[in-house]
Amino acid sequence: MAVTVSAAFDGGNIAVTRAERADDIVLTIPRDHMSEFAQWFYFRLSGVRGAACIIRLVGLEASAYPGGWPDYRAVVSYDRSDWCRADTAYDKAADGGTLTIRLTPEEDSVWIAYFAPYSMERHNDLVARIGSAPGVTSEVIGKTLDGQDMDLLTIGDGPVNLWFIARQHPGETMAEWWMEGALERLIDPADPVARALRAKATLRIVPNMNPDGSRRGHLRTNAVGVNLNREWATPSLERSPEVFSVLARMDRDKPDFVLDVHGDEAIPNNFIAGFEGIPSITPAMTDRLAAFIAILDRISPDFQTVDGYEIPAPGKANLTVATNALAERFGCLSMTLEMPFKDANVAPDAVYGWSPARSKALGRDCLAAALEVLPQLR
């Protein structure tokens, strides 16, 4: 049976240099269309049952985040449902940086990815399932450049406006797994946190900010190579209709709280990045930020407060980034949640690393933290 490598499916991304033998497969990661970002990979390897496979992804020192490869392990699956970690090693000196994946598949085909994929088909299933639940409104608030829908789900009827957005960077698929966990909790009629949130707040949720990049197999950009998380100062229908449509709705339904859900390539832990460097920051705003972080740290053993990004100097925040732009524009509690591509070192999992299941659990925990901080938001 011939060895084949393919990525011609929703979210797939790989280029084949050599794949005649299972023990000598050499691949490269194509850049996002019209951009320099290259990091996301997702491909199917076929004709390899029982073969000792050696797969080399080369040239990775020129990838978007070379610091993401040391101590990283690729994910593999036979059924595209259960994704576990593979034997993976990185050598920055070999062929411009080489990630070597070794496995002996038990089936004819195996799927291999940077993180457990979240396809647009699964996204559409999620929107259909959650949107048909009692008390949920599902709207299309705009179109992408490829003509896909920008979905907004609204849940609850309380006076506090909570916004949750995810996957501005489409390769950060853990963000939509997080959304799935949060949304499933919110529609559970027996869940006390969900019931309280729906009574006290109105939750507006964009499960996927970047449908085009998701379907195209991009790491970080939309259909024309634009990083959406640098568009929040002056979004346009020509470059970033995704941000344009969401910000227009935020201007109508002004947020008291925004959580923007992401993944980080290099840092092996979950953490919150805040808005500390914005010009209009106040002590009350920083108190709310500190309160949410402390609550989430108490609730979730998978969260921590040691690892994270450097805090910008006063007045030096990048106001094109969603968290900073929205805190400055609305004076709200605005945060970025980052999850790891690697593992959460505070509670490592040798088989799965950071995973869809753990992302979903953190989504549920973040809702509980939001409920606790709610009295401070107005």
What residues are labeled active site? 338
- Computed over its alpha carbons, how large is the radius of gyration of the chain? 20
Is residue 267 within 8 A of residue 68, CB to CB? The reply is no
| C-alpha closest to that of 212 among 261, 148, 141 | 148
**Neighbour-count burial of 105, counting CB atoms closer than 10 A to its CB (0-12 exposed, 13-18 middle, 19+ buried):** buried
Backbone angles phi, psi at 2, to 5 degrees: -70, 145
Tokens of 251: 């201007």
**CA–CA distance, 359 with 170 (Å, rounded to integer):** 15
Question: What length does the chain have?
Answer: 378
Point out which residues pair with 111 in neighbouring strands.
44, 77
Nearest to 289 by CA among 370, 353, 361: 370
CA nearest to 323, candidates 260, 368, 370, 377: 260
Token code pair at residue 192: 């006390």
Please name the amino acid found at residue 292: F
Residues in a beta bridge with 25 = 55
Strands of the chain, DSSP E: 4-6, 15-18, 25-28, 42-46, 53-57, 75-77, 84-85, 87-91, 98-103, 109-113, 136-143, 149-155, 160-166, 201-206, 257-264, 271-273, 333-340
Residues ≥6 apart with Cβ < 8 Å to 296:
272, 303, 365, 366, 369
Q: What angle do CA 248, 153, 273 make, to 5 degrees?
A: 70
Residue 105: C-alpha distances to residues 21, 54, 73, 98, 118 (Å):
14, 11, 16, 21, 22
